[in-house]
Structure 1
Amino acid sequence: MTETTPYDADRARFTRQALARLVLCDHAVAVADGAAGLVATENDPDAGPGGRVSQAFQLIELAERALVSAVTYERERGSSWAEIGQYLGMDPAEAEERFAADLDGWNTAFDVPYRLDDTGLKRVPQLPTAAYDPVSACARLDTWAGNRLVLVNDEHPVSSGLTMAAPKP
């Protein structure tokens, strides 16, 4: 199924590296927002027994997604498995094996943008949302960063640093 998507033209303005970086930004926001939920104590009585453990455990899951996104981004920007493995404390072959399926899924999503859901009726985008609709992701992430990052003086703190695709002649 190699049909077009509603966001193909917008996505074409971005490099794959930029799309991977947007996905990493999006996952980092999820981690930050999840961690922020553990800071205030006022609602502790409303969390059932074990509730805060559940929130902390969810952070691990969110951080794992962020790690996969970081590896994808690093591969898109040309980092070697040796460089990635060094920061993970594993040899290059182990790093490549650990993330191979995730990278295969990332690469395949550019060729097969949709899969059918279990009913066979609804098309489900294969790319993460931030890469599928990068223009909306840029706006949302720029706003998030502008509102929360204290020392950022950039009107577009996320999108201004992305590597964009060369315009087509």
Structure 2
Amino acid sequence: MVQISVDDWDLFQSLNQDPEVISLCFDEPSPEAIKESFESRLPVWSNSSEHWLCLTMTLTETGEKIGVTGFRIVDGSAEVGYLILPQYHGRGFGTESLKALIAWASKEQGITSFGAVVTEGNIGSEKVLTKSGFSLTKVVPEAYEIGGKLYADHVYSYENIVS
């Protein structure tokens, strides 16, 4: 995994427009909002940054980029997120990348508190989180609207005790 670069625009745009990827994450953003989101992730990241650390997931065998993963620091905790191209859903790449991200963030950045918010019904993302050691800590009813429908937010957390 490496930090996103200007060369990753097509991947980022596709991930933010594909109905299969975003259906239980958010409404399709405008082209301008996607571009703004992409550009906000391009500056070099450090643990004092306010923007997302956005890393591309790459298949070792082929070099093909299949998604993004990363986090941003909010009140001392890393809020994690990930988007993966549909043809790679259910193949363990989300879990593998999230576990690697947590290990790196804990060891290299001293981050031990992680969180994630998943929209009700996004079973795939919930499986990734639980396989990565996260626990469901709160359900917030009717917290998020997608396509005119209100969904509950499922709030997950993970504390990595580094010894």
The structure that is helix-richer by fraction is 1
Between 1 and 2, higher relative CO (CA 8 Å, sep ≥ 6) is seen in 1
Tell me the TM-score normalized by structure 1.
Answer: 0.29
The structure that is strand-richer by fraction is 2
Tell me the TM-score normalized by structure 2.
Answer: 0.29
